[in-house]
Every structure is written in C-alpha cells, then in structure tokens.
Amino acid sequence: METLILLAVLSFLGLTALAILRLRDGVTAVMLAGLYSLLSAGVFVLMDAVDVAFTEAAVGAGISTVLLLATLHRTSRMTHRPTHTPLIPLIVVMVTGAALVYGTLDMPAYGDPQAPIHQHVGPDYLRDGPNTTGVPNVVTAVLASYRGYDTLGETTVVLTAAIGVLALLRGRRQGKERS
C-alpha cells in the first residue's frame, strides 16, 4: 500500500512539474512550485526522512514561495515567449539528467543495512548518542548536537539568500522611483 501511495505522489510531482513548464503566469507558477515542494516533502516522509521533509516544507514550500511572490510583486507577472529555440537548454538538461542517473547506478539498495553509509558513524551515533548529548531521541541528538553547525550553516544560507533578494528588489524599486 505504501508503494502505491509513493507512486501516486511521484505521479503528482511529474504532473506538477509539467504544468509549471507550460505556464507563463508567474504567480501560478510560484504557487505550483510551492505545491511541488510540499509533495516532495510528502515523498521524504514516505521514505522515513522526516527531518529532510520538514526542511523541504519550511524552505521549499514556505520561504521560497514567499520570496518568489515578493519578487513577482516588484517585477512583471507574465513571462515573455523566448526568442530562441529551447534546443540547447534541453540538451544541457538531458546530459545533466543522464549524468545524475549514471551516478546512481553504483548506489547500494535502498534500506540495505550493510551499505557503507550505515557502517561508518551510524553505529557510534546509536550507541553513544544518548549518553554523549543527554537527548534520548537519536535523530534529535544528531541534528541538534552532532550536526548543529551544519544546521546553523543551512539557516545562514537561507537568511543570506533572503537578504540578497530583498537588496536586489530594493535597488530595482529605487531605480524605478528615480526615472
């Protein structure tokens, strides 16, 4: 049953991506991109990666949607038809996609307990995590203690991106007021 749900959500992801590609209205595209992020978070939950799902929902569906809507508020809502043929971007995307698929061919099976990733620091975290950090939940111990600087870095990147977008938009608005 879980596989059927996963396939259904993945199908909705594909349909949403195709719909975004066909749109010329920026607001509708941004809203569908937020839906895409929310569906991606659902896929992460189904794959038992709740911490990644939380981040995707907060950043992808939340902050990114607000920043893009603010950008559209200060720019044009409708996009123009391209004057060139989209053949070169399509080739670049296809080559990049093929490289990514090729890179996944050597990965271990999903959930394989003998995979190298599970033999490195995972056993140490499970064994020593609650005693070292004082937190009984291993996932919380890893995110809050062992990966605390990583989480702080991710937060800093999102904040820096938001400040950059707001600075760019402010500069554009000031330019319009002068002219």
Q: What is the pLDDT of residues 152-178, one digit of tens each?
A: 888 888 888 888 878 877 765 555 555
| Among 70, 25, 59, residue whose Cα is nearest residue 170 | 70
CA dihedral 88, 90, 95, 96 (to 10 degrees): 110
Cα dist from 142 to 63, 64, 83, whole Å: 24, 26, 50
Question: Is 15 inside a domain boundary?
Answer: yes
- 17, part of any domain: yes
Digit-coded pLDDT (tens) for 99-128: 999 999 988 888 788 888 778 877 888 888
Q: Does residue 144 form part of some domain?
A: no
pLDDT: is 79 or 126 the higher one? 126
Instruction: Tell me what the mean pLDDT of segment 77-97 comes to.
Output: 84
- Identify whether 92 is part of a domain: no
Q: How many CB atoms lie within 10 A of CB 158?
A: 16
Question: Are 32 and 20 a contacting pair, CB within 8 Å?
Answer: yes
In this structure, is residue 112 part of a structural domain? Answer: no
Which residue range(s) make up the domain with 32? 1-79
Average pLDDT along the chain: 83
Q: Rounded to whole angstroms, how far apart are CA atoms 146 and 159?
A: 22
To which residue do tokens 């992020």 refer?
Answer: 37
